[in-house]
């Protein structure tokens, strides 16, 4: 039976006819009816032998699993005893990656409330949209990021209280309030299908949506890709750049390390390619998560400084060009672990590691999931044919009160909106976002394919490729390129790059237009926003 007294989210789920089919294949995916995510990962850590092991690290502090539990229990008591929250209330979380944010997230979930984590760079207008959608009554906010949140709540009385953390110990701060609480807090007896979190999409396609995930969803995700592909150990130290407000970051930098009994190091200094590589060496990090663009920028520093004990490098968040994979491998000696997931599915569902990596492929379907490539009518297409990706597994899309649910889930299958082809051996090759596929003179061209070719030219720092409407060809391939210092964006460079692409891939894929820009529009998680390029 549900323990969540506030039914706001439950009451705004899609009609059951639009729900995804959920599969729980295998003994590790069988869960009891009563389940609390934080209890499973944190409270049971001592019984798994993790209690005295480090869990959260920073330059100033290291907490074991047992110490983290004590701090989480104090925050739980603040939420219930001081703020009067009940299970099912939404709590907005705002902050950069830090021990404080990780503890706050776990406390919200342990107390049976619903975590609504937000990207730290969001401005007042964007935060206001999230408040309007999720209706949180309390926010826990990093003291350095209060200004925009206070602006957002001015005309939104639903957000009744904002409690700062990671600031000075002063009356009213979460650190001070929680520090006064004594004794263990019993985890809320949530049902497995009670809501643990709302994950707002990162906005590559415009207006964000709120994906709903239950306690069972997050634990099921921990039993798939982490168990079968990542295979972290308690000795691992995990670092990375994705925000905890992004499911790629939440899984990689909190949930999955806890599932394995590993620890996470949160970097306090600005996260630049050079500081990231230096931090990897200094902390003894063994697993790193970041986006392809960042690995590309890290490569020169990895080559010069080394990568210490690093053994696994996970790339996700956007398509991984093979040129970037090879550049990183040459610099670090490590074969990158690629994967594709979705906020709507919580995390990665197609991936391969180690000697199972195939050049140009993201990988094969992760155990626990099923995937196929289909045509517009949902029929599976022959291997080697481009079509739309469809996925089912132990997680699936449920949007909060959003008509776009019907576009994502069809006949129980999730359609993440990606164009793929699958080879005879079951490897999936990413082509483009389905709405980014360029059809020019009858040819299908995937923007990432052209981007990969351009990135192999030594003058290119970054690039983005879109289809531009054209009367004669329907569309033409257009590239937006950021040049490395010392190169000039003129007609001569356009011709050089066009010839380079023609020599690298099928000539019909070359960009007929190239525009040189100072930077590319990206989300806070590093994803290229092609819809903004199309607006240009």
Domains and CATH numbers, the chain: 36-189 (3.40.50.980), 217-434 (3.40.50.12780), 437-535 (3.30.300.30)
Kindly give, in sequence order, each residue whose CB lies less than 8 Å from that of residue 124, ignoring residues fewer than 6 positions away. Answer: 148, 149, 151, 152
* Beta-strand relationship, 210-214 and 161-165: unpaired
Rounded CA-CA distance 275/59 in Å is: 13
Rounded CA-CA distance 210/258 in Å is: 25
Residue 502, class by beta-carbon neighbours within 10 Å (0-12 exposed, 13-18 middle, 19+ buried)?
middle
pLDDT for position 442: 63
Cα distances (Å, whole numbers) of residue 196 to 41, 300, 306, 458, 511: 13, 40, 40, 46, 45
Cα distances (Å, whole numbers) of residue 523 to 128, 167, 209, 431: 18, 27, 15, 20
Residue 11, class by beta-carbon neighbours within 10 Å (0-12 exposed, 13-18 middle, 19+ buried)?
exposed
Query: 14: which 2 tokens?
Result: 């899609």
**pLDDT tens-digit profile of 498-508?**
999 998 887 88
DSSP 21: P
Rounded CA-CA distance 214/395 in Å is: 9
Average pLDDT over residues 314-324: 81
Residue 488, class by beta-carbon neighbours within 10 Å (0-12 exposed, 13-18 middle, 19+ buried)?
exposed
**pLDDT tier for residue 207 given thresholds of 50, 70 and 90:** low
**pLDDT tens-digit profile of 19-57?**
999 999 889 999 999 999 999 999 999 999 999 999 999
Cα distances (Å, whole numbers) of residue 257 to 24, 55, 63, 236, 288: 22, 8, 14, 8, 12
Q: Where are the alpha helices (DSSP H) in 113-245?
A: 124-134, 146-153, 174-179, 215-222, 225
**pLDDT tier for residue 368 given thresholds of 50, 70 and 90:** very high
pLDDT for position 221: 97
**Are 313 and 288 a contacting pair, CB within 8 Å?**
yes
DSSP 363: B
**Are 28 and 227 a contacting pair, CB within 8 Å?**
yes
pLDDT for residue 204 is more than 50: no
Kindly give, in sequence order, each residue whose CB lies less than 8 Å from that of residue 186, ignoring residues fewer than 6 positions away. Answer: none
**pLDDT tens-digit profile of 395-424?**
999 999 999 999 999 999 999 988 899 999
**pLDDT tens-digit profile of 126-180?**
899 899 999 999 999 999 999 999 999 999 999 999 999 998 778 889 999 999 9
Rounded CA-CA distance 239/515 in Å is: 35
Rounded CA-CA distance 87/90 in Å is: 9
Kindly give, in sequence order, each residue whose CB lies less than 8 Å from that of residue 267, ignoring residues fewer than 6 positions away. Answer: 58, 97, 239, 275, 276, 279
pLDDT for position 443: 67
Rounded CA-CA distance 295/307 in Å is: 12
**pLDDT tier for residue 320 given thresholds of 50, 70 and 90:** confident
> Inter-axis angle of helices 447-455 and 322-332, to 10 degrees?
40
> What is the pTM for the complete model shown?
0.85
pLDDT for residue 275 is more than 90: yes
Cα distances (Å, whole numbers) of residue 306 to 236, 328, 370, 382, 494: 18, 12, 38, 44, 35
């Amino acid at each position: 039976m549900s323990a969540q007294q506030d039914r706001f989210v439950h009451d705004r789920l899609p009609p059951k006819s639009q729900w995804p089919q959920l599969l729980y294949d295998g003994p590790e995916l069988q869960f009891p009816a009563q389940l609390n995510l934080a209890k499973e990962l944190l409270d049971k850590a001592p019984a798994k032998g993790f209690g005295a092991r480090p869990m959260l690290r920073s330059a100033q502090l290291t907490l074991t699993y047992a110490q983290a539990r004590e701090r989480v229990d104090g925050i739980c008591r603040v939420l219930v005893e001081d703020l009067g929250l009940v299970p099912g209330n939404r709590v907005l979380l705002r902050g950069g990656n830090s021990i404080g944010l990780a503890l706050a997230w776990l406390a919200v979930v342990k107390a049976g409330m619903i975590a609504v984590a937000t990207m730290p760079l969001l401005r007042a207008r964007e935060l206001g949209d999230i408040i309007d959608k999720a209706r949180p009554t309390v926010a826990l906010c990093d003291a350095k990021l209060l200004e925009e949140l206070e602006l957002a709540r001015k005309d939104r009385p639903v957000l009744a209280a904002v409690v700062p953390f990671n600031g000075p110990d002063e009356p009213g701060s979460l650190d001070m309030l929680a520090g006064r609480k004594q004794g263990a807090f019993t985890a809320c007896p949530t049902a497995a299908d009670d809501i643990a979190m709302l994950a707002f999409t990162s906005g590559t396609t415009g207006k964000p949506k709120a994906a709903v995930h239950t306690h069972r969803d997050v634990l099921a995700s921990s039993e798939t890709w982490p168990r079968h592909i990542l295979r972290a150990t308690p000795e691992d130290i995990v670092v990375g750049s994705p925000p905890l407000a992004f499911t790629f970051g939440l899984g990689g930098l909190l949930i999955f390390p806890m599932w394995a009994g590993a620890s996470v190091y949160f970097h306090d200094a600005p996260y630049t390619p050079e500081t990231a590589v230096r931090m990897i060496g200094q902390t003894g990090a063994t697993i790193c998560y970041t986006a392809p663009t960042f690995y590309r920028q890290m490569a020169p520093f990895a080559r010069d400084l080394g990568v210490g004990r690093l053994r696994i490098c996970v790339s996700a968040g956007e398509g991984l060009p093979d040129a970037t994979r090879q550049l990183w491998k040459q610099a670090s000696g490590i074969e990158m672990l690629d994967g594709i997931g979705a906020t709507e599915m919580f995390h990665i569902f197609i991936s391969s590691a180690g000697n199972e990596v195939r050049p140009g492929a993201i990988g094969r379907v992760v155990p626990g999931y099923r995937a196929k490539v289909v045509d517009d009518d949902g029929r599976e297409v022959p291997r080697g044919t481009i079509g739309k990706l469809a996925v089912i597994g132990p997680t699936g899309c449920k949007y909060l009160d959003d008509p776009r649910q019907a576009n994502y889930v069809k006949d129980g299958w999730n359609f993440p909106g990606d164009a793929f082809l699958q080879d005879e051996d079951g490897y999936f090759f990413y082509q483009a976002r389905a709405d980014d596929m360029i059809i020019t003179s009858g040819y299908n061209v995937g923007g990432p394919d052209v981007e990969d070719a351009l990135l192999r030219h030594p003058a290119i720092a970054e690039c983005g490729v879109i289809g531009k409407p054209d009367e004669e060809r329907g569309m033409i391939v257009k590239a937006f390129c950021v040049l490395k210092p010392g190169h000039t964006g003129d007609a001569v460079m356009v011709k050089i790059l066009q010839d380079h692409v023609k020599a690298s891939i099928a000539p019909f894929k070359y960009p007929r237009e190239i525009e040189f820009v100072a930077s590319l529009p990206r989300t806070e998680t590093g994803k290229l926003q092609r819809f903004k390029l199309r607006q240009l």
